[in-house]
Amino acid sequence: MIIRIDELSDVPIYQQIRNQIVMGISSGELEAGDQLPTVRALALDMGINTMTVSKAYQLLKTEGYIMTDRKNGARIRTEIEKQGRISSGNRSELKRIVSEARISGVPKDEIINLVNEYYGG
Amino acid sequence: MIIRIDELSDVPIYQQIRNQIVMGISSGELEAGDQLPTVRALALDMGINTMTVSKAYQLLKTEGYIMTDRKNGARIRTEIEKQGRISSGNRSELKRIVSEARISGVPKDEIINLVNEYYGG
DNA sequence: TCTTTGTATTACTCCATCTAATACAATAAA
DNA sequence: TTTATTGTATTAGATGGAGTAATACAAAGA
């Protein structure tokens, strides 16, 4: 899986890595049991520090998306906990995004089409 | 209009103010020409610094949502520019939110219902 | 003249992010 | 056993954004 970092973004690097892996899981590009690159390999590949990648992996581990095992590296978890609900933070963000889109004249259907595209199925 | 700040949020205060005003415009709670509280009044009311509120107003002004006039204060703009498209940053955020919801087992319809609710109409 | 408006300026503290250099424990491979 | 590779902990430093604080300014209404 290819991970791209936007240097201009104000989103922290470790967060960008985390987000792309989460989106990879959602899209099916990453499946349960899949091996992730080592922290050193990914850091070298992206020209960033080892600890930055480690921080992304720690976050993913805390959230239950991956499991790390010394010497086995990091892999996508087989049983990812399903809360079944959208976090309050994501609700706020969604409301903000929809509001901005509405004000700038984006039709509702266009937003819903995006949701369908990103959700898949 | 009541503005509430979440102390625990990692979203900057000036950004939270900006977001709530934007959402107020979208929902219709704030209409074109409406007067916003003065920077000093809002700062005093929320127990924060004057410059923090000013920073929020500057951001809203730059984005074209409000207009500020010395001695007249800040008001919602009458003609807000309609780009007609969703910014790339908001697209990325939307994709992340939808992905996280999907993984945690939230049905697609539930997301779409939220979009309908936030968009209105 | 006095007051109120947004805003500019300067200085300071605080904290998150990122980098850097090491080191450690665990484990597969040689 | 030895070696190499894994994630991770530690410590230190640099950088920048966020927020506060005190002050001052220009504009305009009362």
Q: What is the pLDDT of residues A20-70, one digit of tens each?
A: 999 999 999 999 999 999 999 999 999 999 999 999 999 999 999 999 988
pTM: 0.95
Q: What is the pLDDT of residues B11-51, one digit of tens each?
A: 999 999 999 999 999 999 999 999 999 999 999 999 999 99
Query: To the nearest whole angstrom, how far is the Cα of B101 from the nearest Cα of chain A?
Result: 6
Q: Where are the beta strands (DSSP E) in chain A?
A: 66-69, 73-76
CATH (one of 1.10.10.10, 2.70.180.20, 3.40.50.970, 1.20.140.10) for A13-76: 1.10.10.10
Which residue has tokens 């319809």?
A: B109
Best A76, A80, A97 residue to mutate vs chain B (most B CBs within 10 Å):
A97
Burial class (CB in 10 A: 0-12, 13-18, 19+), A109: exposed
Residue B65 backbone phi and psi in degrees, to 5: -85, -35
> Which A residues in the span 102-121 are in contact with B, Cβ-Cβ below 8 Å?
102-106, 108, 110-112, 114-116, 118-121
- Strand C: which positions are within 7 A of a protein CB? 4-10, 16-22, 25-28
Nearest residue by alpha-carbon distance to C1' of D26: B70
Q: How far apart are the first and last CA of chain B?
A: 21
Whether the beta carbon of B30 falls within 7 A of nucleic chain C: the reply is: no
Residue-range domain boundaries for chain A: 13-76, 88-119
